[in-house]
């Protein structure tokens, strides 16, 4: 075994240097094995092929096209397109897979009685007795294995082939398969009951639309408002004007308060009254009284001088009164008297009147400010309420619009489905049996074809057999192998000859 593995590794290293002679050498060394295996495999394949030569194949071709597009059910209205898009390979392959669906094959098997065609096999004696569903399942599996479905490249055709020893069965299987496939295609692409579904949805959305419109009308009556957005927009303009007027009133109040303080400060330094007339004259009445007193004093002195001596005390006293009267007259003549007439100062009065007017205006402006603030608060509250009403009305309008769109959509879909149902009653569109099946008159393969296939199978299996046996043979075949494995020089090599 070690020798064989060593030689095998050496041969793998020199594999790239093999010549055609060395490649064919194992076949000549194992020619007996090659010939025996070739003849045995050829005979077995030919015998098996000739025994099954009477196999009849029936063919059918299905054309996949787009004669009419079915409208899709979407959230938007869809119309039939003017130009038909090209058919894709995926769609053709989908139709091919639909042909091999289990329910279709099961119906085909039942229609042709294939569940009872094979009878009972010897395996049935070792297992439980098969029921009708078991036989049907086995027939469907055998049918799926024997049916060939091909989609030629760059075509819209689906080729279906089925072979059987009975020509009538081959034709019946494909004929049933074609009819059932058309029904399956219609059921898949045009599900039944779509018209009733769209009719029910149309009625449902019609009732929903009427309910939405009724609630929208009731909203205007209960809220006593026609369009909250317009009223809110107008009120926003009024609120902007009211805020501007409020600021103007605040500015006016500030100006009036400053004016009042200025008037009060000026009134403090302005006299309340001012002189309007001033006369300057001597004290005439005082001089008259003093003159009378002087005359009385002189008369008294004169009378006393008539009776008494000048040194007499009474005379001296009278003399003193005369002197005092004269001094008083002289003093009165020196001090003049001023007569003035006064009245209310006009500047003070103007300041007082301006202050009174400013205080009155200030009271009015403060009252206006308070009223403006109350009005702004009221308008802001009203705008918040209008915003809520606007959102509520918008929700109602959106709901009504959505119900209207859905109603129109399903109304259109209902008519499209009604038209499609009417078309489907006459024919199935988009797929058609281009080449219907026929009862085959000749077998699928002749004896020459079977012998050629058996010859190819025999060559394909006999050649690897010869190489396999030669590869695992532990003996030496060439002097080079002896030198490589044992390291012994070879003087002469005598080939083995058979007797």
- For 370-391, what is each residue's pLDDT tens digit? 888 888 888 888 888 888 888 8
Q: Are 183 and 79 in contact (CB under 8 A)?
A: no
Check pLDDT > 60 for residue 158. yes
Instruction: Give the model's confidence band at 1: pLDDT under 50 very low, under 70 low, under 90 confident, else very high.
Output: very low
Question: In 3D, which of 79, 143, 86 has the Cα closest to residue 110?
Answer: 143
pLDDT at 431: 73
Tell me how far CA of residue 421 lies from CA of 183, 335, 359, 417, in angstroms: 14, 139, 91, 6
pLDDT at 237: 87
Mean pLDDT over 55-79 rounds to: 66
Q: Are 146 and 163 in contact (CB under 8 A)?
A: yes
pLDDT at 83: 57
Mean pLDDT over 13-19 rounds to: 50
* pLDDT per residue as tens digits for the range 260-312: 888 888 888 877 776 666 555 556 666 777 788 888 888 888 887 777 777 87
Angle, alpha carbons 379-382-384 (nearest 5°): 115
pLDDT at 380: 85
E strand map for 6-127:
56-64
d(C-alpha 108, C-alpha 180), whole Å: 8
pLDDT at 78: 56
Mean pLDDT over 156-162 rounds to: 86
Alpha helix (H) ranges present in 273-345? 284-307, 313-334
Mean pLDDT over 220-242 rounds to: 80
Question: In 3D, which of 426, 50, 392 has the Cα closest to residue 223?
Answer: 392
pLDDT at 429: 54
* pLDDT per residue as tens digits for the range 88-143: 778 888 888 888 888 888 888 888 888 776 555 544 545 456 687 888 888 888 88
Instruction: Give the model's confidence band at 6: pLDDT under 50 very low, under 70 low, under 90 confident, else very high.
Output: very low
Residues 6+ apart with CB under 8 A from 276: 341, 342, 343
Mean pLDDT over 206-225 rounds to: 82
d(C-alpha 274, C-alpha 452), whole Å: 152
Answer whether 0.85 is exceeded by the pTM.
Answer: no
The helix or strand, by DSSP H or E, that contains position 474, with its residue range, turns out to be none
Instruction: Give the model's confidence band at 4: pLDDT under 50 very low, under 70 low, under 90 confident, else very high.
Output: very low
Residues 6+ apart with CB under 8 A from 149: 96, 99, 100, 158, 159, 160
Tell me how far CA of residue 339 lies from CA of 103, 204, 286, 288, in angstroms: 140, 111, 15, 19
Residues 6+ apart with CB under 8 A from 25: 477
Question: In 3D, which of 464, 461, 458 has the Cα closest to residue 27?
Answer: 464
Residues 6+ apart with CB under 8 A from 20: none
pLDDT at 3: 41
pLDDT at 9: 43
d(C-alpha 279, C-alpha 274), whole Å: 15
pLDDT at 123: 46
Check pLDDT > 70 for residue 155. yes
pLDDT at 319: 83
**Higher-scoring residue by pLDDT: 226, 41:** 41
d(C-alpha 487, C-alpha 221), whole Å: 116
Check pLDDT > 50 for residue 69. yes
pLDDT at 120: 52
Token pair in block for residue 183: 């029904």
What percent of the chain clears pLDDT 90, i.e. is strictly above it? 0
Between β-strands 431-435 and 273-281, what pairing exists: parallel, antiparallel or unpaired?
Answer: unpaired
Q: Could you count the other beta carbons within 10 Å of the beta carbon of residue 161?
A: 18
Mean pLDDT over 49-65 rounds to: 74
pLDDT at 496: 63
Mean pLDDT over 198-211 rounds to: 85
pLDDT at 10: 46
Instruction: Give the model's confidence band at 336: pLDDT under 50 very low, under 70 low, under 90 confident, else very high.
Output: low
- Averaged pLDDT of the chain: 75
Tell me how far CA of residue 98 lies from CA of 144, 162, 187, 265, 361, in angstroms: 12, 16, 11, 107, 95
Angle, alpha carbons 362-363-368 (nearest 5°): 95
pLDDT at 341: 63
Q: Which residues pair with 63 in a beta bridge?
A: 157, 432
């Amino acid at each position: 075994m070690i020798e064989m593995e060593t030689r095998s590794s050496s041969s793998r290293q020199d594999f790239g240097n093999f010549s055609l002679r060395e490649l064919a050498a194992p076949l000549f060394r194992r020619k007996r094995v090659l010939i025996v295996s070739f003849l045995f495999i050829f005979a077995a394949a030919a015998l098996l092929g000739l025994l099954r030569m009477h196999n009849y194949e029936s063919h059918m071709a299905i054309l996949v096209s787009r004669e009419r597009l079915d409208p899709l059910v979407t959230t938007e209205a869809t119309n039939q397109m003017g130009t038909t898009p090209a058919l894709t390979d995926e769609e053709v392959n989908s139709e091919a897979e639909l042909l091999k669906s289990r329910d279709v094959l099961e119906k085909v098997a039942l229609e042709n009685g294939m569940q009872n065609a094979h009878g009972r096999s010897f395996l049935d004696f070792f297992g439980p007795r098969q029921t009708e569903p078991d036989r049907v399942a086995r027939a469907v599996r055998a049918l799926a294995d024997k049916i060939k479905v091909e989609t030629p490249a760059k075509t819209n055709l689906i080729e279906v082939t089925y072979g059987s020893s009975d020509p009538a069965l081959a034709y019946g299987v494909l004929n049933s398969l074609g009819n059932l496939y058309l029904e399956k295609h219609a059921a898949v692409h045009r599900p039944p009951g779509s018209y009733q579904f769209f009719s029910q949805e149309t009625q449902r959305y019609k009732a929903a639309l009427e309910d939405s419109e009724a609630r929208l009308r009731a909203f205007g009556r209960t809220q006593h408002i026609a369009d909250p957005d317009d009223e809110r927009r107008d009120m926003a303009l009024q609120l902007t004007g009211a805020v501007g007027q409020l600021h103007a009133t605040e500015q006016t109040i500030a100006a009036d308060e400053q004016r009042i303080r200025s008037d009060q400060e000026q009134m403090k330094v302005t006299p309340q009254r001012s002189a309007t007339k001033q006369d300057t004259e001597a004290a005439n009445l005082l001089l008259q009284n003093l003159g009378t007193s002087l005359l009385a004093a002189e008369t008294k002195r004169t009378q006393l001088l008539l009776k008494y001596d000048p040194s007499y005390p009474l005379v001296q006293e009278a003399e003193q009164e005369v002197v005092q009267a004269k001094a008083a007259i002289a003093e009165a003549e020196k001090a003049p008297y001023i007569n003035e007439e006064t009245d209310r100062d006009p500047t003070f009065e103007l300041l007082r009147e301006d202050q009174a007017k400013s205080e009155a205006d200030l009271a009015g402006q403060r009252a206006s400010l308070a009223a403006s603030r109350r009005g702004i608060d009221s308008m802001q509250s009203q705008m918040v309420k209008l915003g809520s009403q606007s959102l509520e009305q918008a929700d109602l309008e959106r709901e009504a619009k959505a119900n209207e769109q859905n109603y129109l959509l399903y109304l259109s879909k209902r008519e499209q489905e009604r038209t499609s149902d009417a078309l489907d009653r006459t024919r199935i569109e988009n797929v058609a049996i281009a080449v219907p099946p026929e009862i085959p008159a000749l077998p699928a393969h002749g004896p020459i074809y079977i012998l050629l296939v058996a010859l190819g199978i025999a060559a394909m299996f006999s050649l690897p057999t010869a190489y396999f046996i030669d590869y695992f043979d532990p003996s030496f075949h060439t002097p080079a192998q002896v030198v490589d494995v044992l390291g012994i020089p070879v003087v002469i090599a005598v080939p083995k000859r058979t007797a």
